[in-house]
A and B are shown apart, each in its own frame.
Chain A
Amino acid sequence: EDQVTQSPEALRLQEGESSSLNCSYTVSGLRGLFWYRQDPGKGPEFLFTLYSAGEEKEKERLKATLTKKESFLHITAPKPEDSATYLCAVRVGYGGSQGNLIFGKGTKLSVKP
């Protein structure tokens, strides 16, 4: 069964304190791993797509990496505005134009000034 597990469930950081969020997955053929940021009461905001082991992508203070079993979202010198829930999702499905996603439960990040 395809499964996505995120850890930790919640993470509290001081401003400037770097850390990493983990997303481990078991799927029958990865067709893309996606990171999203979600603020309370709003839709998820797309951050990154990773396709193959060894791939890395960066955006401001965020860097996403991928291995054969897991992905990490590294947050360097976070600011309070980085506080949000970070969702990891993997694409499943074969062919066609849709990319069905299986989401992890998310990591709620709180950054204190």
Chain B
Amino acid sequence: DTEVTQTPKHLVMGMTNKKSLKCEQHMGHRAMYWYKQKAKKPPELMFVYSYEKLSINESVPSRFSPECPNSSLLNLHLHALQPEDSALYLCASSHPGTAYEQYFGPGTRLTVT
């Protein structure tokens, strides 16, 4: 099973709202990732968690706050977003071995109004 699930599928929020994106995998992967993808662009790495610890933050604004409560779950907390933050947010996971293939979830389509 190579499934990564993400909720919600779609999210519309105002600039003053607080919301969270959720990601879950049950493949035993110990690395999890958040990516942002704008239309007709490749995914851009935002955060990497390795063994539940934040290992990479690609200079992402503080209005995005990641959290990894356990080895299967990854959250992205959103607060005071801007319209330019509207994008497809992708979660991925990989096994901490030599393969490093990242398996992606279906994404959350976020619209900031």
B-binding residues in A (CB < 8 A): 31-32, 34, 36, 41-46, 49, 87, 89, 91, 96-101, 103-106
Verify B107–A100 contact, CB threshold 8 A: no
A-binding residues in B (CB < 8 A): 2, 4, 6, 30-31, 33, 41-43, 45, 48, 50-51, 55-56, 88, 90, 92, 94, 96, 99-107, 109
Which chain B residue shows the least CB distance to A43?
A: B104
Interface centre among A34, A99, A105 (most CB of B within 10 A): A99
Residues of A within 8 A of B104 (CB): 36, 43-46
Residues of A within 8 A of B107 (CB): 41-43
Residues of A within 8 A of B41 (CB): 105
Verify B101–A46 contact, CB threshold 8 A: yes
Q: List 6 A-B contacts (CB under 8 A).
A: A45-B104, A97-B31, A98-B94, A99-B102, A103-B42, A105-B41
